[in-house]
Structure formats: C-alpha cells, structure tokens
Amino acid sequence: MHCRYDSDKPTLHANYFGPYAQFLCPWKAEGKEVSILEFGIGGFDEELKGGADLFTWSRFFPKAKIIIGVDISKKSFHVAPNVKMFQASQVDEKAVNEICEKYGPFDLIVDDGSHMVDHVIATFKLVWKCLKYDGLYVLEDSQSSYSEAAEGSKDLDANWTSMNFFKRLIDDQNFAEIAAYGNSYVPSIYAKELAGMHFYHNMVFIEKGDNKYPSSMVIAS
C-alpha cells in the first residue's frame, strides 16, 4: 500500500514497514478508530504533490476517526473526508495547540517533518501532551541528528542533538532504578509515561503509558 501511493516508508535504507507493522497491525486487526497526526506531508513546496502517507493511513485504517497532516508548505490536493491538511510549521506552538485541542488526543503521532534537530526536540515536547495514553510517537529519519546541515553533530557526545535527547529518555524511563541506587538524578516530566522505547535504523518509537513502577532492585545479602 505504501508503494501504491509512492511513500518512502518501505524503500528507504532501513525498511520502515517492519516496525510500523509490528505496532499498527494489531490496531488494524481490532478495527481501531484511530486518530493520527503526522508532521510532513511530502512533495516539498509543490502544492499539488505529496500526501503519500495520508493516503496510506486512510486506506490502512478505513475506520480512522481523523487523520491530520501538517506541512510548512501549502497543499491543495483532494483527500478523503476523514483527512485534513494544515499549513503550519511543526514548531508553531499556537497552530499545533489549536490542532491538538480541536482534533486530539491522538493514537499515533509521526514526526516526518523538517528533521532539523531543534525542530525534532521541540515537536516532541510540544505534542507529547496530545498523545493518548497507550498511544505511539514515531520519529522518522533520526539520522539527521548526526548531520551538521540539520544542526546536528558528528560528535556523539554533543548534548544538544536529537539522538542524545532521546537517549536521555532511556534514563528517564529507569528513574526508579536510578533513585534506588542513591543517584540524585532528576527525571524529566515525561519519565512516568515512558512505557516503552524502541530504536530502529533511522527510527525511534515511543509508547506512552504507565511507567510509575517501583524499583525492582534486589540487594544481595
């Protein structure tokens, strides 16, 4: 289906289909009425081009409640009744908050937008509250973190990069264990909702849910 609509998801360096199938096929099997928000419609600045992912989501989830596409460029092609497109920057707090308030919360949020490092981090922070409990956040093309053209860095220790931002969330996910060992680590506001984190080639999947478990530390006698 991705190929039919000329989506790059199954054809890029790493096959994006596998990770998506793992998480989304169960939703499809149960006929879930999903709500989806995706940043980046495609087609660059051409008004009548793009939309491959929107068409794919619409066909894959025929019972979808709403599918939202947000792009910095204006898009004017025909889409299904349950698909809406908005022209806005993915870091336009006012515009994104209005979309979240009117159409959210969402089961799936995908960042396939500018891939600029500061945008990647800001977008996650902006829309995490718009993601449902038991929802899924997906970052595509996470390799931009290593690109200076995307304001990333070849220095793997550069703390401002998007990849290091998401790596730090792994510590947040384990905040109870860190505290149990006497570390003064202060977790982020996301820590108690980081139910699962999955890193794939050029992709990051984050499951939102309950992460308020106590430490499992066992002290040897």
Q: pLDDT tens digits, residue range 33-46?
A: 999 999 999 999 99
> Could you tell me the CA-to-CA distances from 3 to 6, 53, 60, 149, 158 in Å, in that order?
5, 10, 13, 29, 37
- CA 83 – CA 123 distance, rounded (Å): 21
Look over the chain and give the mean of its residue pLDDT values, rounded to a whole number.
Answer: 93
- CA 48 – CA 45 distance, rounded (Å): 9
3-class secondary structure, 132: strand
Residue 201 lies in a domain: yes
Contact 61, 92 (CB under 8 A): no
On the question of pLDDT at 13 being above 80, the answer is no
Residue 8 lies in a domain: no
Query: What does the pLDDT average to over 75-96?
Result: 97
| CATH code at position 100 | 3.40.50.150
> Could you tell me the CA-to-CA distances from 86 to 64, 78, 95 in Å, in that order?
18, 13, 9
Residue 80 lies in a domain: yes
44 residue type, one letter = F
Query: What domain range includes position 61?
Result: 17-208
Instruction: Provide the pLDDT for residue 184.
Output: 87
Q: How many domains does the chain have?
A: 1
Q: Does pTM top 0.85 for this prediction? A: yes
- CA 80 – CA 99 distance, rounded (Å): 18
Instruction: Provide the pLDDT for residue 5.
Output: 44
Asked about 78 being catalytic, the answer comes back as no
On the question of pLDDT at 221 being above 90, the answer is no
Helix 117-127 with 162-173: angle, nearest 10 deg: 40
Q: Which of 115, 119, 198, 201 is catalytic?
A: 115
Residue 64 lies in a domain: yes
The residue whose two tokens read 């600045």 is: 45
β-strand pairing of 83-87 with 66-71: parallel
DSSP-assigned beta bridge partners for residue 196 = 207
